[in-house]
Amino acid sequence: MIDLHLHTTASDGRSTPEELVREAALAGLTTIAVTDHDTTASIAEVTGAAEASGMTCVPGIEITAVHNGQDVHMLGYFLDADNGELAEFLAGQREDRRRRLFEMADELDRLGMPIDRGRLQAAERDSKRALGRPMLADALVRAGYVATISEAFERFLGTDKPAFISRRGASPAEVVELITRAGGLSSLAHPGKSNLDAIIPELVAGGLGAIEVYHPDHDERQTTHYRELARRHGVLVTGGSDYHGAGSGRTSGFGRVTLPVDDYERLVGRAGWTA
Ligand code: AMP
Ligand code: ZN
Ligand code: FE
Ligand code: FE
């Protein structure tokens, strides 16, 4: 079983690299990709632990691009995690995550819901770690303003909700080019969540390598739609569980959404990758 969309504690996942690999092995996965938000910090550890348990690990990333103030998640696979331009870009992304999070915390102050910033401040000391809105959601739950992480997003933190502040940064097309220059293959993450089919032709013309077809937030109709769109544009297909670990407020566990072997082999062939 193949799962090419997994998060660790380097971003907003709840599992450390070792825990992630142990959980993946228990679920019967044979090939995984670690795709943390805007950081490559876990790739070496996940790869080492995966190899020790007889699994293959594809180096990956999930970069947040911005289109008209809206976040657009772009996956990158098989890239050189030590690429200098990529590293510099990602450091800037993490800095913008920090800015946004503290600005959103200020918004929560204004809304009369001050949160404990202790964990944010502790986390920001690790410059390789990508901060994210789930930390604010957690703080809102701990303070008792909301009952669940989902409620925090639905009422306050989601796009255009009262405490929402936009990210700043590169366009999806620029991120495609960056991933290509870092030796990687790009994939438009969970397009069914973002309503941006209109920009797909431009991204394909700019070198987009794949579309994420298999994702827990895609229903059958969307899965079929994006599979067909990928075929029509002559790009490949990726997929995975978008696992964030126990307690993340996301319900998708391992093994429910996987990538067919044929699709995986096409990716490896296109990237010319050897584990
Ligand atoms: P950020 O990276 O700061 O833009 O935050 C986005 C992340 O928050 C996503 O990658 C998810 O992991 C998480 N997230 C978004 N919506 C929800 C939700 N309704 N429930 C739980 N987690 C969510
Ligand atoms: Zn996430
Ligand atoms: Fe995402
Ligand atoms: Fe993700």
DSSP 88-147: HHHHHHHHHHHHHHHHHHHHHHHTT-----HHHHHHTTSTTS---HHHHHHHHHHHTS-S
Mutate to test the pocket of ligand 1, among 90, 94, 96, 153 (most ligand atoms within 8 A of CB): 153
Q: From ligand 3's centre to the CA of 1, what distance in Å?
A: 21
Q: Measured from the CA of 100, which atom of ligand 1 is nearest?
A: 3
Predicted confidence band of residue 25 (pLDDT cuts 50, 70, 90): very high
Does 133 contact ligand 1 (Cβ within 6 A)?
yes
Q: Is the minimum distance from the CB of 34 to ligand 1 under 6 angstroms?
A: no
What's the chain's average pLDDT?
Answer: 96
pLDDT tops 90 at residue 201: yes
Cβ-based burial of 114 (10 A; exposed 0-12, middle 13-18, buried ≥19): middle
Any atom of ligand 1 within 6 Å of the Cβ of 150: yes
Cα 132 to Cα 120: distance, rounded to the nearest angstrom = 9
228 CB-near residues (< 8 Å, 6+ apart): none
What's the pLDDT score for residue 87? 98
DSSP state of 257: S
The protein residue with its alpha carbon nearest to ligand 1, atom 20, reads: 150
Residue range 53-59: mean pLDDT, rounded = 97
The answer to whether residue 13 sits within a structural domain is: yes
Which backbone phi and psi does 87 adopt, to 5 degrees?
Answer: -60, -40
With a 6 Å cutoff on the Cβ, whether 245 touches ligand 1 is: no
For residues 20 and 251, the model is more confident at: 20
Q: How many domains does the chain have?
A: 1
Which of 241, 249, 235 lies closest to 217 in space, CA to CA?
A: 241
Tens-place pLDDT, residues 118-154: 999 999 999 999 999 999 999 999 999 999 999 999 9
Q: Of 12, 74, 193, which is best to mutate to test ligand 1, by the most ligand atoms within 8 angstroms of its C-beta?
A: 12
261-274 tens-digit pLDDT: 999 999 999 999 98
Q: What share of the chain is helix, strand, coil (3-state, %, to 5)?
A: 45, 15, 40
Alpha carbon 243 to its chain's center: 10
**178, pLDDT greater than 90:** yes
Q: Residue 146 domain-assigned?
A: no
Parallel, antiparallel, or unpaired: how do β-strands 210-214 and 236-239 relate?
parallel
- List the structure tokens of 200: 């797909």
Position 152 in a domain? no
For residue 38, tell me if it sits in a domain: yes
Going along the chain, which residue ranges are E strands? 2-6, 31-34, 56-67, 70-77, 185-188, 210-214, 236-239
Ligand 1 atom closest to the CA of 132, numbered from 1: 3
Domain range enclosing 8: 2-82+183-271
* 181 C-alpha to ligand 2 centroid (Å): 24
Dig out the tokens for 91 from the structure: 């450091």
pLDDT beyond 90 at 105: yes
Comparing C-alpha atoms, which of 26, 29, 78 is closest to residue 261? 29
In which band, very low, low, confident or very high, does the pLDDT at 250 lie, cut at 50, 70 and 90? confident
Whether ligand 1 lies within 6 angstroms of the CB of 71 is answered as yes
Mean pLDDT of 214-238: 97
* Cα 163-165-170 angle, rounded to 5 deg: 160
**Does residue 132's CB lie within 6 angstroms of at least one atom of ligand 1?**
yes
Provide CB contacts within 8 A for 121, sequence distance 6+.
Answer: none
What pLDDT, on a 0 to 100 scale, did the predictor assign at position 238?
A: 98
Residues whose CB falls within 8 Å of the CB of residue 163, separated by 6 or more in sequence, listed in order:
104, 107, 108, 111, 136, 156, 157
Q: Is residue 142 part of a domain?
A: no
Please tell me if the CB atom of residue 100 comes closer than 6 angstroms to any atom of ligand 1: no
What pLDDT, on a 0 to 100 scale, did the predictor assign at position 242? 96
| 65 within some domain | yes
Q: Residue 178: inside a domain, yes or no?
A: no
CATH of the domain at 24: 3.20.20.140
Contacts with 181 (C-beta within 8 Å, 6 or more apart), sequence order: 83, 85, 86
pLDDT at 275: 81
Report the share of the chain in percent with pLDDT over 90.
95
Q: Does 127 map to a domain? A: no
pLDDT at 251 over 80: no
